[in-house]
Amino acid sequence: MIKLIVGLGNPGQQYEKTRHNAGFLFVDYLADLAGVRWVGASQFHGEIAECNISGSKVILLKPATFMNKSGMSVGKLLRYYKFSAEDMLVVHDELELSEGAVKLKRDGGHAGHNGLRDIIAHIDSRDFYRLRIGIGRPVVGKNVADYVLSKLSSDGQLNLASLFDALSKKLDALIVGDLTAINDLQISR
């Protein structure tokens, strides 16, 4: 059962609505859906929101440490609440999935994602759920860092909105880590 959902992203207005902030965008969507507000939590180096999802209390976290240093925030919160890694879902952008696609997995490596790499290093575990939000790859020759830090196009924003809406109808499956129900998700626009 998921007790903590961590959205990965970078704090600051210049990073809002960028591809790299797909995790922040999703947890913001969940907070809005649940009608809860974000509260600064300096002890966790981030913002948290507590909500009820599918009858379960869930804490949402947006680390304020920048993407590549997310592990400090996540580790502190896990230890404070005495959650295990298996109780956590990390939501992040994924270059290897097309824009608007989603994949839920449990366990595994960081696949080059620096936010995941830092979380794994701080909690000394790979045994957590990851919701990978597809952002696609840049065209050949375009710098990957520039691509992930660029703003989503209006079509990209619509794709994410459609994806988040479809995911909202499967929150029961998401909270229990039902890989099949989430990975069979199809968005239509």
- Is residue 189 a part of any domain in this protein? no
pTM of the model: 0.94
189, containing H or E segment: none
pLDDT at 156: 87
CATH code at 86?
A: 3.40.50.1470
The phi, psi pair for 88, rounded to 5°, reads: -115, 140
pLDDT at 122: 95
* Residues in the chain, pLDDT under 70: 186-189
- Helical ranges in the chain per DSSP H: 22-34, 70-81, 114-123, 144-148, 154-168, 171-175, 179-183
- Is residue 117 a part of any domain in this protein? yes
169 in helix, strand or coil?
coil
Residues 33, 96: Cα–Cα separation, whole Å? 28
- Is residue 26 a part of any domain in this protein? yes
- Is residue 188 a part of any domain in this protein? no
The phi, psi pair for 40, rounded to 5°, reads: -65, 130
- Is residue 141 a part of any domain in this protein? yes
Count the domains in the chain: 1
Q: Which domain holds residue 26?
A: 4-183
- Is residue 72 a part of any domain in this protein? yes
Mark whether 20 is an active-site residue. yes
pLDDT at 128: 95
For 15, counting Cβ atoms within 10 Å of its Cβ (0-12 exposed, 13-18 middle, 19+ buried), the class is: middle
Structure tokens belonging to residue 101: 């696609």
- Is residue 135 a part of any domain in this protein? yes
- Is residue 147 a part of any domain in this protein? yes
